Amino acid sequence: MNNLVMKDKATGQRRLRRSVSSDPYFVFLRKAAGRARNFRPERRALIDSLFPLLIQRADLGSWVVTVNISRLAAELSPKDVNGNVVFETSVTASRISRLLQELARFGLCELPELEWDPVESYWMPRHLVLTDRFWQLCGVNMDKLLKQRNKRLEAEHEGIIDAGSYESLKLARSKWYDRMRMATLTYRREKAACEKKRKHLGRMPLDARRNSMASWLIKTHPNHELRNMDHQAFDRLIWQRLNQLELGLGWEPVAPDPIQ
């Protein structure tokens, strides 16, 4: 990161130290990557800004980066004095997606195929794997980086034969993706359940809403926590859950659907 970003002593703000897109690496592999000419200034600026973001989000052991295209686009977009993205000059998600595909053609990252979740009918989040070439282009001491990565793998997967080898690296990436997949599924299902609960309670008046929430908490809340509560604490928990669903005092019941 220090090779790419520096702190301006005059303003105290961070700015790019060097232009990665100007490296002769891109000239040498231009034809192999399917390009006829050099990058345009806009794309060069985007590449220079994207590299530090990928380094910040990379897993130290597997070099995997979870890619939220929309969030990356928002972080790379110019912002006004209030920190809001300027719409006229914003970076679109499609530009980031095309850029990642081009970096993959240059051998700087790998883009595994997206996986379809048949239960939720949704594509799993995209992720990419940074390659050795990526780190070399950043000016990293590869001997030190590989040594640190192998130590990380040995610590995470103690007992694996030949820790730090290609096999353990592949296993680390596989386990990382499995964890991310399960976390994503859990989040989506919890979100769907909360929305279903909110829709059900939103049709009730306040007293019925509180009563229904109380019955639901009795069924789902851990028993050891319920035993240590008095009725005032239980009532506060009810209000807390209702407020989390935005169904507190300020919510007016929704009219029922007309019967066809």
Residue-wise pLDDT tens digits, 212-233: 888 888 888 888 888 888 888 8
Instruction: With residue 64 as reference, give the H or E element that holds it.
Output: strand 64-66
In a 13 Å sphere around the CA of 92, the CA atoms on its Cβ side amount to: 4
Residue-wise pLDDT tens digits, 129-183: 899 999 999 988 888 888 888 777 776 665 544 444 445 666 666 777 777 777 7
Provide the Cα torsion 183, 124, 72, 100; round to 10°.
140
Report the mean per-residue pLDDT for the chain: 80
pLDDT higher at 2 or 119: 2
- What is the structure's pLDDT at 70? 80
Residue-wise pLDDT tens digits, 65-114: 877 778 888 888 888 878 788 888 888 888 888 888 899 999 999 887 76
Domain regions of the chain by residue span: 5-187, 202-260
Contact 22, 44 (CB under 8 A): yes
- What is the structure's pLDDT at 162? 46
- What is the structure's pLDDT at 108? 93
